[in-house]
Every structure is written in structure tokens, then in C-alpha cells.
Structure 1
Amino acid sequence: MDRRQLLTAGLLGFTGAVLTSGCSGAGGVRPSPSRDGQRDTEDTGRTAVEVIASGLNVPWAMGFLRGGDALVTQRDDATIVRVSGSGEVRTVGEIGDAAPRGEGGLQGIAIAPGAEDAVFVYYTTDSDNRLVRLDFDGRRLTGPRTLLRGLDAAYNHHGGALVFDADGSLFVAVGDAAEPAVAQDIRSLNGKILRVDTEGRPWPGNPFGNEVYSYGHRNVEGLAFDGAGRLWATEFGQNKRDELNLIRRGGNYGWPEFEGESDDPRFIAPKVTWTPQEASPAGLAIVGDRAYVAALRGRRLWEVPLDGESTGQPASHLTDDYGRIRAVAAAPDGSLWVSTSNTDGRGQPTDDDDRILRVIAG
């Protein structure tokens, strides 16, 4: 389906929310850079793409405060900025022992539900990947206090996604650190999705008596819950297929025995797959009955209809209009916030990259 058909069909739609249709602007029109505090809006008929913030340094993940501002991690300078809906960007914290390299650095962020004074981040040091807790007084982040350390790190495959569930447990995606075999070893924390409490301890009832919740993962950079409490994850494949997975307690997702589709009963098959050229999926957000997947190499935003545990035909949006798309998050007002990743060494940045976009009804 091409862009004109997407615009007519109105596929990018939140149920009862503000975003009702959406492809990128006709003819590939892009908003001009922000100037003098002015925010540019691209009107695409029934949908607008608004540049909230620009000049960021690989904005990797976003966590929303109740008032609508977002805390945003910047991977390569290891700072956390507070971004308001009106476009104000203010640095509120930094991680002094972070050591950005390759695909690592300051990555995931999650705010404890009902307790905005507790902020959790995942990052790379000189020797490992770590999960830490920061204290937040509304103005500055202080700490960190280390909860998990010794997670193997390499040039790539760090994982890094964080998400809380309704019970207050924290799910942590840890990559295989370019050592595929560890993904099948339930004693290792690499190549896994972990479930821990806010002190970093294994959540009661975890399937293997440690932090591991699911295994057989290569590199998960997106985690999100649907309205029924089901956990979904995006996962980078190697050369064949990228994945959107429905995560089950104790489930084995097959890496490195297979990537993409499989009918092997030992492994849980993905719900959706793409080629790496189409996707290289990073962030994930779910609103209503739609999952939204940020695609780096694919340079687009994928929309996947959800029907319980089943998925419909994916549709792509914003294709090639903003370059590499890394993070996507559901804002309290019902819009989507989307970050670009053109300053990560693999993109072609414009003068105002990287940017945070808000996709809203026009």
C-alpha cells in the first residue's frame, strides 16, 4: 500500500484518541528546521507531525511524567533531558561512569508507577551494562544506586529496554553481547528479558529461580504492555528476519537456533517478522489495539494491528521522511512521541537532528 492509499485509508489510528490517520506528507515534504523557538508542524491532511525538540544527541528512550513532560536519555553524551510539550529542553541528570561506545551508552529509562521520585536507567560502563536507580526531585536526578551489574557488554547487542508492569515489577531487556550461545543458557542474564523488583532482586515466581523471565533473545530494544497486560517485544534479527514477539513466562525465543519463523515446538515463533532492510526494530509503544514499532534501518514507523494474541497486516508510516527512527512512546495526551536517530554514526543528520516528533491529529 502506498502513501496515498494510507492517507485515504486512515490506518494510523488510536481508538478514541487524537491520532486518526497517518502517513508522511504528500510528496515526501519534510518540516523545515525549528528556528528561534518556533516549532514546525507538518500538516498531512488529517494528521500533523510536529517537531517538539531538535539538536539532541541520539535520544534513545522516553519516560513520561504525569504532567506530560518526558525524561529522555541521550545515548552518546550520557545525559537525561526533560522535554516539555511546548519544546523546552533542560538537562536534569547525567551518568558519570557511562562509557558510550558502539551501540552502547545511556539507553533505557523507566519511571516507577505512582512514584516519580524513582527513575531507573540502563547503561554501558567501561566493563559492563548496568541497571541503576536515580532519585528525582522534579528538578535534578541524583545517584545512581546500582541494582544489577556485570551484564556482559560488547560493541553491540546491549538490549536496554525497560518497562514496568501493573504489579510494579520491572522488565529489563539484556542483549547477547555478540555471544549468541549465552542466549540459551538460563544461568546467564545476557540474551534474556529479566523481571526484577525495584531493588533489582528476582521477582517472586520467576520461572528459573533467578532474574530470567524469558530467554533465547538476540537484542531486544523495545518492550511494551497491551491493555490486557500482555508483554510484547521487538527484536533485531541477524541477517534474515527481525521480529515482534509476544513474551511468555519461561518462553524460549530460539536465538541462536533460529531467527524469524519456525515451527520447532521447542521455541516460540514471532508474531510478525520483517527483513532487516525494512525494520531493524528499536522502540515499541502500544495504544489501544495498535502496536507502533520504530525502525532504524527501515527509516519508518510500523503500525501493527493487535487482536488479542494475534496480529494483522503491518502498515508503514513516515517512511524516509525523518531518517532513522529509534524511540516511540505513548504520551499522556494520546499522541505518539517519536525520536530520530540520525546522529548515531549510521544516519545522515540534518542541521536540526536529532529530533523528537509528536504525531497528532491535524
Structure 2
Amino acid sequence: MTALSQYARLETTGLWRTGPGDAGREVVVSFGKATLVLSDSAGLPLTHWSLPAITRLNPGAAPALYAPDIDGSETLEVEDDTMVSAIETVRAAVAKGQAAAPRQIRWVAGWLVVAAALAGAVLWLPGALQREALAVVPDAKRTEIGATILGHLQRTLGGACRDPLGAEALARLHDRALGNGGQAVVLPLGPASPIELPGGITILSREMVERAAEPAVVAGQLLAARVAAGDDPLARLLDDVGLWATLKLLATGDLDPDALARHAEDLLAAPAPALGADRLGPAFSQAQVPLKPYALDRDPTGAGVADLLAADAHAAQEPPILLTDSEWVALQGICEGG
């Protein structure tokens, strides 16, 4: 978005609080592609806030107080007038973009609505709608949708674990396994299997992290979430919410909040996907992550994961170092700090 590119190099400091009882921590505030990035003094990202979802809690007051969602339990205090002006400009641009869908989207939506009225329940329509939505929904909107689903999951599974050193280690491992962009989040009470949401938000459970014997197991969970989500997690969402919700997304740029809440429930209720060597092997090989540790985490006997063990491209090699020992200890304690 033009408003964002204008402020791409802008940075300032802010006071970040992870909850009502938190005394606060000074962080560096900067803009990402579709997020507001909060980093420590060394430049390591601590968390990413979706720009479309950011809420101003005290309009007109100073210092400005922001939250990543309407709940406002996590907050960021910003005193720098230039940064406040930049955030407000970007928020206004996002709101304007959401209020008036791009001309292409409106045209396509109008054409498809007419086609739907004329053709009724034509078999090709749902697939055509989904393909069009996947082609035109921008990254910022995907991040907003993923952050909203994450909010619904947190109401059931608890707030994200945010020990600072653990969060830094998790961000390093995420980028090592999946590349830059997106983020990993650890929730204290689940899910039962790793989940990737639209916008590249990957959800792990505290139990997955704490039981892991080594970093390759957690990296494997991140990769398994990516593989299970297929080419695009938004496609899984659109399959779930159905035809009319997809039409609404094309026409207005928004999805029904109730539909997103139901999708979060469906994700938790869905059985763990059966991922075999044909799907996991290439993903682990490309990411240069050994497959054996993840396979044995799934089945310590090895009997039920023989195909995964045989597909480990690093079986005869020295295992790569994914995290240092201190980073690994910090990651396993990510939920100890709240």
C-alpha cells in the first residue's frame, strides 16, 4: 500500500505491555510488509501486529495507546508524534481500502453474482469463486484474517506464550524452517496438531514444544503445519465457510466474524492430518531439516513411521544446527514467562 511504503524506514521506541499486570518493556517499533514489528534493542523481532487489526485505545490522547485487537489486553504506548502520525495514516488507508473494494474485485464480484443468479447451483461456481478470491485477496487482508482466527483460538486455548528469549528463539527457528514472513505462536492449551492460518501464522502447543527432544522436532511441527495447510491456508478457510461467505469476501473485502469463529472451532475439532513421506519428505529436504527427530516424536518406537525414517535426506549426514543450546533452552521455556 502507498501509505505504508512512505513509512517503510521509520522507527521509534515504545512501551510494550503483554497484559494488564505487565510493567512494560521498551521495544523498537517499525513497519513490516503488513505488520507493525516490535523488536528488542538488538533488532530481534518479539512480535508482529497485523496493521489492519490494530486498534487505537485512546484517540486524541497522548501518548498514543495501541492494541493488536479490540480486546486491548496487550498494548503498545508510543510517544513519538511522527510514528503516531504514520500509524494513523496507515490505519486510515487500510480503513479506506476496506470500505471501498478495489474496482477489479467489485467488477468480478458483480459478474459472479449475476452468473450465480442465472446459473443457480452450477457445479463450477464454487471453485471459480475460490480461485478468484485466492488470486485477489492481498497479503495484508490474509494477515488480518489469520490474526482474527488466532484471537478466537486464544479464547479457547489461552493467550500466546511470550517469554522474550523464548519468542526470539521461536522466531529464529520459524525463519530457519519456513523462511521470512509470517510468525509462529505457542498457545498453552493446544491445539492437538500444528495449524497454519492465513497470513503465515503457525500455531503450536506448549506441549509440543516442551516434549520435544531437540529443535528439529519443533521445526518439523512448523513444516508439518505448512504441508497440512496445502498451497494456501485461505483455501481451507473458504472451503469451510462456503459459497456465500466467499462471495461476501469478494464483494466487500470482509468475512462474517461468526464464520471465522466457527472456522476456529472446526480447526480444533478436525482430526490430525495423515501426513506421509510423500508429502513431508520433500518439504523437510528443501528446508534442510532432518526428518528422523520429528518422526520419532510422532512414534518413539519407529514402527508406525518407517516411511518417514526412510525418507530422511539427512540420515547419513551431520545434523544441521538449528538453534544454539541457550536458544533451545529459552524456546522450551517460552511459556514460563506468561
The alignment's TM-score, normalised by the length of structure 1, stands at 0.25
**Higher strand content, 1 or 2:** 1
Which has the higher Rg, Structure 1 or Structure 2? 2
**Higher helix content, 1 or 2:** 2
